[in-house]
Amino acid sequence: MPIRTQIGIVGAGPAGLLLSHLLARAGIDCVIIESRTRDEIEGTIRAGVLEQWTVDLMNRMGLGERMMREGHFHRGITLQFDRQRHHLDFEDLTDGKKVTVYAQHEVIKDLVAARLAGGGQIIFGVSDVKLEAIETDSPRIKFRRGADGAQEEIACDFIAACDGFHGPGRQAIPAQVRNEFQKIYPFGWLGILTEAPPSWHELIYSNQDEGFALLSTRSDTVQRMYIQCDPADKIENWSDDRIWGQLHKRLEIADGWKLTEGKIFQKGIIGMRSFVCEPMRHGNLFIAGDAGHIVPPTGAKGLNLAAADVLVLSRALRSWYRYRNAELFDSYSATCLDRIWKGERFSWYMTTMLHKNPQETSFEQKIHLADMKYVVSSRAASQALAENYVGLPIDIDDV
């Protein structure tokens, strides 16, 4: 017999998990399936900068207790160029909004624990996932538990594919219907985790002659740092000494401040890209989060855009089950994409302004320098950056 539920959710990342909580709050039943194990999704260390409204939403739903206890709350960020630092005070520029640094895997831990404690069903470690009959009123999700389990089926009213860029969700939308937009950047990030105390009180975004660097944090004892590199480079080419040497060159200035070193216990290279799929709905299938869009991490938008997607979707589903009103289904894709493209623009802007692009001319590099100088010298420009960074307005009063 198939598992019967109202909403079948594919993917137990932030989007799928947050959607399950929003639906439960509205009295709507759902089942989540996830290809990885619980240990894998909770142990995959990923960055996490939360917009103010995302923090407010977590707290409103009773999910933010540990975040408020262990997260790092910053008044703003520091931009560094020409060997000088410039603090952008977001709290002042945005009427009190802050930056919250709380890693994505920690958000996932909180959401999983609360969902299971509330009686929610999450099936981990599935394989061979197929989405069927999405153009009918009775879509189905077929899967196996583990690699060798018998085929099972979830019968549902709607499918929410929150399964990431490589999942089957977006691919279930016919190719002739999908419009996909992508930009591949000619640089990547080499990221490290190091056992060290914080070196600075907020994030530093540095654009120096040697290239971009980002100083971030994870906790009082673990720090996250990145340096721009060739995305095709091999991590074996980067000894710890070489990494620290580049971080010192790209982050230190002439005021005597020194970066605190520690034991590097994780390092890797990731490429940078921007991606959007239109539309985000086909039949009774809705895609959300990384299934529909990817942003370079420079703008700190990924998790927050995913949260906005599922907030919009939860409202559409709530309207349907309460009033049999399909109007918000019809506007789901356009509503999400309006915010997504603004997030894509900001992420592209931060990425192009702060990196050394080997494909650009010296004229273009001078324009980026002028842009940084304008941002730190104009309150209007600083406010525009701050408003985008802490999160464009979104209403959560009805949650």
Contact indicator for 284, 313 with CB cutoff of 8 Å: no
pLDDT at residue 217, rounded to an integer = 86
Task: Report the pLDDT averaged over residues 105-115.
Answer: 97
Q: Which amino acid is present at 95?
A: D
Contact indicator for 32, 16 with CB cutoff of 8 Å: yes
- What does the angle CA 155 – CA 156 – CA 162 come to, to the nearest 5 degrees? 110
Question: Is residue 215 within a helix (H) or strand (E), and if so which, with residue range?
Answer: strand 211-215
Question: What 3-state class would DSSP assign to 276?
Answer: strand
Q: Which amino acid is present at 356?
A: K
Residue 49: name the closest of 212, 287, 226 by CA: 226
H-state helical runs in the chain:
14-25, 38-43, 52-60, 65-70, 90-93, 104-117, 168-171, 240-251, 302-323, 327-354, 362-377, 379-390
149 secondary structure, DSSP code = P
Read off the pLDDT of residues 238-252 as tens digits, 9 standing for 90 and up. Answer: 999 999 999 999 999
CA distances from 124 to 119, 177, 342 (A): 15, 31, 34
pLDDT at residue 19, rounded to an integer = 98
Query: Is 3-48+103-178+279-356 in CATH node 3.50.50.60?
Result: yes
User: Is the per-residue pLDDT at 146 higher than 90?
Assistant: no
pLDDT at residue 30, rounded to an integer = 98
Q: Which amino acid is present at 105?
A: H
Contact indicator for 301, 49 with CB cutoff of 8 Å: no
User: Is the per-residue pLDDT at 377 higher than 80?
Assistant: yes
Task: Report the pLDDT averaged over residues 192-205.
Answer: 95
- What does the angle CA 123 – CA 127 – CA 132 come to, to the nearest 5 degrees? 90
Q: Which amino acid is present at 109?
A: K
Dist CA 36 CA 19 (whole Å):
18
Contacts of range 43-46, beta carbons closer than 8 Å, 24 or more positions apart: 43/105, 44/105, 45/103, 45/105, 45/193, 45/218, 45/266, 46/103, 46/104, 46/105
User: Is the per-residue pLDDT at 170 higher than 90?
Assistant: yes
Question: Is residue 141 within a helix (H) or strand (E), and if so which, with residue range?
Answer: strand 140-145
Dist CA 73 CA 50 (whole Å):
10
Q: Which amino acid is present at 65?
A: E
CATH class for the region spanning 182-272? alpha beta
User: Is the per-residue pLDDT at 138 higher than 80?
Assistant: yes
Task: Report the pLDDT averaged over residues 77-92.
Answer: 96
Q: Does residue 175 or residue 217 have the better pLDDT?
A: 175
pLDDT at residue 147, rounded to an integer = 82
For 328, the token pair is 């918000």
Every domain of the chain and the residues it spans: 3-48+103-178+279-356, 182-272
For 367, the token pair is 């324009």
Read off the pLDDT of residues 263-320 as tens digits, 9 standing for 90 and up. Answer: 999 999 999 999 999 999 999 999 999 999 999 999 999 999 999 999 999 999 999 9
- CB atoms inside a 10 Å sphere around CB 268: 12
Q: Please give the positions annotated as active site.
A: 74, 205, 297, 301, 389
Report, in this order, helix, strand and coil percent for the chain, each rounded to 5.
Answer: 40, 30, 35
Read off the pLDDT of residues 39-56 as tens digits, 9 standing for 90 and up. Answer: 999 988 787 899 999 999
Sheet (strand 121-123) strand order: 121-123, 30-33, 7-10, 158-161, 285-287, 281-282
- Where residue 334 falls among pLDDT bands split at 50, 70, 90? very high
Task: Report the pLDDT averaged over residues 127-146.
Answer: 96
150 secondary structure, DSSP code = P
Dist CA 322 CA 330 (whole Å):
17
Q: Does residue 336 or residue 146 have the better pLDDT?
A: 336
User: Is the per-residue pLDDT at 190 higher than 80?
Assistant: yes
Task: Give percent of the chain above pLDDT 70.
Answer: 100
Task: Give percent of the chain above pLDDT 90.
Answer: 94
Average pLDDT taken over every residue of the chain: 96
Task: Report the pLDDT averaged over residues 186-209.
Answer: 95
- Where residue 156 falls among pLDDT bands split at 50, 70, 90? very high
Look-up: residue for tokens 């700190």? 300
What is the β-pairing status of strands 76-81 and 204-208?
parallel
What is the SS3 string spanning 20-81? HHHHHHCCCCEEEECCCCHHHHHHCCCCCEECHHHHHHHHHCCCCHHHHHHCEEECEEEEEE
pLDDT at residue 148, rounded to an integer = 86
Backbone angles phi, psi at 163, to 5 degrees: -105, 20
Query: What is the torsional sign of CA 370, 376, 378, 384?
Result: positive
